[in-house]
Amino acid sequence: MTTDTATRPETAAPGQDDRTIATDKQPLLDVQGMKIHFPQTKGFIRKQTQWVKAVDGVSFQLQAGQTLGLVGESGCGKSTSGRGITHLIKPTEGRVILNGEDLEDLAPEDLRQRRRDMQMVFQDPYASLNPRLRVEDILAEPLKAHGVTNKAERRQRINEMLDVVGLNRGFALRYAHEFSGGQRQRIGIARALILNPKLIIADEPVAALDVSIQAQILNLLKDLQADFGLAYLFISHDLSVVRHLCNRTAVMYLGRIVEIGDTEQIFSNPMHPYTQTLLDAIPVSNPRLRRERVILKGDVPSPVDPPPGCAFAGRCPEAHARCREERPQLQAQGTDHQVACHLHDPA
């Protein structure tokens, strides 16, 4: 597992507020003001000129056994956030606290050990599995890396995992390229589960699959959550899937969360104009329930030079003068609903 490092900028960018939703229970995952900025270089000597602010101050909490959906258009920073949480990319700033432990404080070997508690399932089951390895080798890799040296013990664990994800034990001796997309994603899920993690970060886990297979994999994820008490950070652009699977939902735009809260509250009463346009774009089969669509105009601003006010101002039908000058912060709108929009600032 390689780790990319997003170098720290010399001067910190203005941060989004680091507030998180207060809950009684200690969360399994507590992300506080996470930023991931990549240096942009130019010329033969690769002189660093600017920063790409891929994630620019993201805060949220996730309780054990719950699912948080992270949604937004491609390029909004949701996948980079997932990699930042696992420290596959080292965050530039902010804290990622897993089970009460700040990952930033850990020595490299301790961080490697903690990674067994949080695993990733990737979007593309074709690219994420080595086609030259047999399934048993793919599943044995994480066990070996975490000190399971006994071969019989590994074999037993691999067989258990194949049972859990609904694959024949005989598949252990076959190569990954011999399987269909759905079967490969089951192998990817088995690989993620084999170390008994508490948190799975699923990055568009069904986006590359046929629609008929998507439902099978989503049902498998739900069953596994019920059986093992897993927490999921479910990264997706598909809002129908998020509504079906997630207790809470966070909407990202240009590296920041613009709305977060209970999924039913967000879907029944979206308050941010960007969330409203995302929901308007969900296909509805019953023509009587169809709403008039607001088509977004304009482009997403560059993450190299985000606008000083609201990043959505250039596309927002409700934008007013203040939006172009002052960046809105997340404000509580109810028990579990926060929105970053001047239309909903407290009076």
Contacts to ligand SF4 by CB under 6 A: 272-273, 310, 312-313, 316, 318-319, 323, 328, 341-343
Measure the CA–CA gap between 208 and 210, rounded to whole angstroms: 7
* Least distance between ligand SF4 and beta carbon 274 (Å): 6
């994800």: which residue's tokens?
165
Of 248 and 327, which has the nearer Cβ to ligand SF4?
Answer: 327
* Least distance between ligand SF4 and beta carbon 259 (Å): 10
Measure the CA–CA gap between 75 and 342, rounded to whole angstroms: 24
* Least distance between ligand SF4 and beta carbon 116 (Å): 40
* Least distance between ligand SF4 and beta carbon 301 (Å): 12
* Least distance between ligand SF4 and beta carbon 202 (Å): 28
* Least distance between ligand SF4 and beta carbon 325 (Å): 10
Of 198 and 342, which has the nearer Cβ to ligand SF4?
Answer: 342
Q: Which residues make beta-bridge pairs with 250?
A: 70, 260
* Least distance between ligand SF4 and beta carbon 320 (Å): 6
Do residues 117 and 199 lie in contact, with contact meaning Cβ atoms separated by under 8 Å?
yes
CA 80 to chain centre: 8
* Least distance between ligand SF4 and beta carbon 331 (Å): 11
Of 51 and 253, which has the nearer Cβ to ligand SF4?
Answer: 253
Of 129 and 251, which has the nearer Cβ to ligand SF4?
Answer: 251
Of 39 and 301, which has the nearer Cβ to ligand SF4?
Answer: 301
Of 139 and 323, which has the nearer Cβ to ligand SF4?
Answer: 323
Of 131 and 317, which has the nearer Cβ to ligand SF4?
Answer: 317
Of 245 and 296, which has the nearer Cβ to ligand SF4?
Answer: 296
